[in-house]
Amino acid sequence: MENNLLSFIIFAPLAGAVINWFVGRRLRNEKIIGFIACASVGISTIIAFYLALKSNGALRSTESIFDHLWTWIQVGRFRADFALAMDRLSGTYALFVTFVGFMIHLFAVGYMHGDRGFYRFFAFLNLFMFAMLTLILADNFLLMFVGWEGVGLCSYLLIGYYTDRKEAGNAAKKAFITNRVGDWGFVLGLMLVFYLTGSISFFEKPEHGVISALQAFAGMGVDPFTWKSLFAGGATSVAVLLFIGAVGKSAQIPLYVWLPDAMAGPTPVSALIHAATMVTAGVYMIVRCSAIYTHAPTAMFIVAVIGAATAIFAATIGLAQNDIKKVLAYSTVSQLGYMFLACGVGAFAAAIFHVITHAFFKALLFLGSGSVIHGMHHEQDMRRMGGLRKYMPITFATMLTGWLAISGIPIFAGFFSKDEILWKTWSAGEFSLPSPLWSKALWFVGAITALLTAVYMTRMMIMTFWGSERFREQDVDHQLEGDAAPAPHSVHEPHESPWVMTVPLIALAVLSTVGGFIGVPYALGSLFSDHPVSYIDQVLEPVLSHVPAGVPHSERAHAVDEMQWLSPKPQQLDGAPAVHALEGPAASAERAHSPEEIRQERFLAMVSVLIAALGIGVGWLIFQKRPLLQMPRILENKYYVDEIYDATIIKPIEVVSREGLWKLFDVGVIDGFLHSLGDAVTEGGRMVRHLQGGFVRSYAAIILIGALALIGLFAYFGAHTLGLAR
């Protein structure tokens, strides 16, 4: 179904960026600039909700919405359209990205008040929304990559927004370069997709002769679960290459190092880019390509292990950070690990569910931290805070809901999505795991991560809102030295933020409280209803591929031909990407809920609640009495990963570049050759110039010598010719 309104979703923020850049910089009127920026995103939000939720909208119909703007590239059988598509997956993403983005824009109007680059900030923020929405609504890999690179560029501009701060510039460069490392994987994966399928489109377009690359993968055989499949050039190779791109964009091990440093940008940037939208682009891409990953069990195993490792690794670092934004940054890295863990075990709907709830509570927590920083006159060190709840009651109350949500306390949103991921991990089959023990091991890692999350978030809340008022003290602890020592500060009186900042906090607090009800699991919903419905599962079910059930490792290479869990032909909704249709045992496993499974899921949900309560209790007991308890130095210094990278990668590259490429090759070879050539020409000219002495007799002598030489030459050739004739 064609609908030209779809293009307004992406072009409204672009128009806002252009207007603010060219007009706002002349007006320098904050009210007009803020109105243009918020209104442009508001237009996108209204249109997205209309197209997704109307009677025949993307989320309520089996038909996707398209908007073909123009054919961008067509060479041979390669075709890339600048075309947009909203199906159930992209529609779901568009709803929370536009709404949360609008809330953050509104908050930023108050947060950035008085900043000299006000127009520039909102131009960049609008430009980011254009790039992110292009990434989401693209109907092919290449246009998605345009949005992918666009959000990387905007991230660079926004992280480095404070141009007078060296750490901001360094953080921006770090983010940009680290993402380029991941992007080479995305590009190679895109090329391999076209090589294998002859298409880069997510959707089939018979009228244009375009097939769906995802549908083509759905008709291929499943790769065997072997490490050799990584290099075989099939679905596993594609999946791993695309995952490398996701690792960079979504800050997973080993490319996570850019995200904590990105906190050098303004706090609304942290909320929009590094909590609610850009960093979840990698999750979106993998879920969009679920048809590829369900044919690549080895790749799914890698995704699950990297996700679990990142989750617990970042959680331990979050325990020891003193910058309020750094705590939330490592929390974001950890929660992203949860999402990839879900993707790795085939729980794609659970991953998207956690993306949504995470957007609510993490955007709330970041904006809440921004409100604290604003009220504390731009102080970010939690050791300089304490007792703020009576000075900032609205900020405290809203951040309280975010704390309970991320900790996993019922009925808050984070409980339902986190519990769903843990249950799907526990009950995962052997398709992407070497043995059943792996599902239990990954669940254990996820459970420990949940415990640590509750602990470090409790520590953050106590250091910020409870305890003694440390913001009036000149020095918190004279014994702290080096990196552990807080920076000098001026004594100040905290205050609550203005309404333009607190209204978004209240809206996000409501969503963080009730937002989880869109995906209540069957086992929990059946306690209160005879016909429980998980709306998120119901919406996403038609556009996701499913992990096959009960396929032995030895038979996976021939699963399509020999097993009956895949239908003979991939089923496709009108205008939707092709998906697997399950039959027989797998379908039953996917849809039926046995009493034993229900009991297990309820028991694990109870365990999750106990883990969250234990984490909060432990955090309260430890930090209520000793909020300034110094944590292990290795955690404070983030396992020295940045130092290791500097010593093993950055410094060697700098030395090779400086001593080898610059001094030896550039200066020695290239410059040396060019300088030698110039010197040779100069010396030659110096020698020849003596022929031009300015004396007529010299010129006459040269002419005479030249004439005699020519006569002699003619005489020689003439005699030689006569000799030959005789």
Cα(89)–Cα(106) distance, integer angstroms: 26
Confidence of residue 6 (pLDDT cuts 50, 70, 90): very high
Element (H, E) at 100: helix 88-111
CA 448 to chain centre: 24
- Max Cα distance, the chain (Å): 124
Confidence of residue 683 (pLDDT cuts 50, 70, 90): confident
| 649 prior amide bond cis, ω within 30 | no
Q: Supply the pLDDT for residue 557.
A: 43
Give me the mean pLDDT over the 316-335 stretch. 95
With 70 as the cut, is the pLDDT of residue 572 above it? no
Q: Supply the pLDDT for residue 581.
A: 36
Cα(260)–Cα(43) distance, integer angstroms: 32
Residues in CB range of 491: below 8 A, 6 or more apart: 471, 472, 473, 474
Q: Supply the pLDDT for residue 547.
A: 79
**Structure tokens belonging to residue 281:** 């682009």
Give me the mean pLDDT over the 617-624 stretch. 95
Element (H, E) at 83: strand 78-86
Confidence of residue 95 (pLDDT cuts 50, 70, 90): very high
The residue whose two tokens read 């990698």 is 282
Confidence of residue 560 (pLDDT cuts 50, 70, 90): very low
Range name among 418-427, 456-465, 553-562 with the lowest pLDDT average: 553-562
Q: Supply the pLDDT for residue 491.
A: 60
With 70 as the cut, is the pLDDT of residue 476 above it? no
Confidence of residue 490 (pLDDT cuts 50, 70, 90): low
Give me the mean pLDDT over the 136-164 stretch. 94
Give me the mean pLDDT over the 361-374 stretch. 94
Confidence of residue 571 (pLDDT cuts 50, 70, 90): very low
With 60 as the cut, is the pLDDT of residue 488 above it? no
Cα(525)–Cα(428) distance, integer angstroms: 21
CA 163 to chain centre: 23
> 721 versus 17: which is more confidently predicted?
17
Is residue 621 within 8 A of residue 614, CB to CB? The reply is: no
Q: Supply the pLDDT for residue 243.
A: 97
With 80 as the cut, is the pLDDT of residue 679 above it? yes
Q: How does DSSP assign 360-419, residue by residue? A: HHHHHHHHHHHHHHHHTTS--BGGG---GGGT-HHHHHHHHHHHHHHHT-TTSHHHHHHH
The residue whose two tokens read 């003979």 is 568
Total length of the chain: 726
Q: Supply the pLDDT for residue 475.
A: 56
- Other Cβ atoms less than 10 A from the Cβ of 538: the count is 14
Residue 571, strand partner residues: 579
Confidence of residue 587 (pLDDT cuts 50, 70, 90): very low
With 60 as the cut, is the pLDDT of residue 480 above it? no
Q: Supply the pLDDT for residue 574.
A: 41
pLDDT in tens, 227-238: 888 998 899 999
**Structure tokens belonging to residue 379:** 């102080």
Q: Supply the pLDDT for residue 240.
A: 96
Residues in CB range of 168: below 8 A, 6 or more apart: 159, 160, 161, 162, 264, 265
Percent residues over pLDDT 70 in the chain: 91
Check the CA dihedral 710-711-717-721 and report its sign. Answer: positive
Nearest one of 374, 390, 407, 491 to 114, comparing CA atoms: 374
**Structure tokens belonging to residue 323:** 């910058």
Q: Supply the pLDDT for residue 589.
A: 37
Give me the mean pLDDT over the 315-331 stretch. 95
Cα(723)–Cα(726) distance, integer angstroms: 5
Cα(538)–Cα(576) distance, integer angstroms: 15
Report the mean per-residue pLDDT for the chain. Answer: 87
Q: Supply the pLDDT for residue 484.
A: 47
Is residue 168 within 8 A of residue 162, CB to CB? The reply is: yes
pLDDT in tens, 353-366: 999 999 999 999 99
> 153 versus 207: which is more confidently predicted?
153
With 70 as the cut, is the pLDDT of residue 579 above it? no
Q: What is the dihedral of CA 312, 318, 320, 324, to 10 degrees?
A: 180
Distances (CA, A) of 301 to 243, 340, 430: 12, 10, 10
With 50 as the cut, is the pLDDT of residue 459 above it? yes
What phi, psi does 86 have (nearest 5°)?
A: -120, 110
With 60 as the cut, is the pLDDT of residue 486 above it? no
Distances (CA, A) of 116 to 381, 557, 649: 25, 61, 38
**Structure tokens belonging to residue 205:** 């377009």
With 80 as the cut, is the pLDDT of residue 607 above it? yes
Give me the mean pLDDT over the 562-585 stretch. 37
With 50 as the cut, is the pLDDT of residue 37 above it? yes
Side chain identity, residue 295: H
- The 10 Å CB-count burial string (b at 16+, else e) for 261-275 is bbbbbbbbbbbbbbb
Residues in CB range of 555: below 8 A, 6 or more apart: 562, 563
Residue 86, strand partner residues: 65
Cα(344)–Cα(366) distance, integer angstroms: 28
With 90 as the cut, is the pLDDT of residue 91 above it? yes
**Structure tokens belonging to residue 713:** 């030459």
Residues in CB range of 432: below 8 A, 6 or more apart: 225, 297, 298, 300, 301, 304, 344, 345, 346, 547
**Structure tokens belonging to residue 121:** 């900030």
Q: Supply the pLDDT for residue 551.
A: 52
- Other Cβ atoms less than 10 A from the Cβ of 607: the count is 16
Question: Strand, helix or coil at 54?
Answer: coil
Q: How does DSSP assign 485-554, residue by residue? A: SPPP-------PPPHHHHHHHHHHHHHHHHGGGGG--HHHHTTT-SS---HHHHHHGGG-----SS--GG
Is residue 265 within 8 A of residue 259, CB to CB? The reply is: no
Cα(629)–Cα(480) distance, integer angstroms: 11
- Other Cβ atoms less than 10 A from the Cβ of 531: the count is 6
Confidence of residue 564 (pLDDT cuts 50, 70, 90): very low
Range name among 53-62, 298-307, 360-369, 506-515 with the lowest pLDDT average: 53-62
Is residue 298 within 8 A of residue 228, CB to CB? The reply is: no
Is residue 375 within 8 A of residue 318, CB to CB? The reply is: no
Nearest one of 338, 127, 358 to 252, comparing CA atoms: 338
Q: Supply the pLDDT for residue 167.
A: 92
Give me the mean pLDDT over the 176-182 stretch. 93
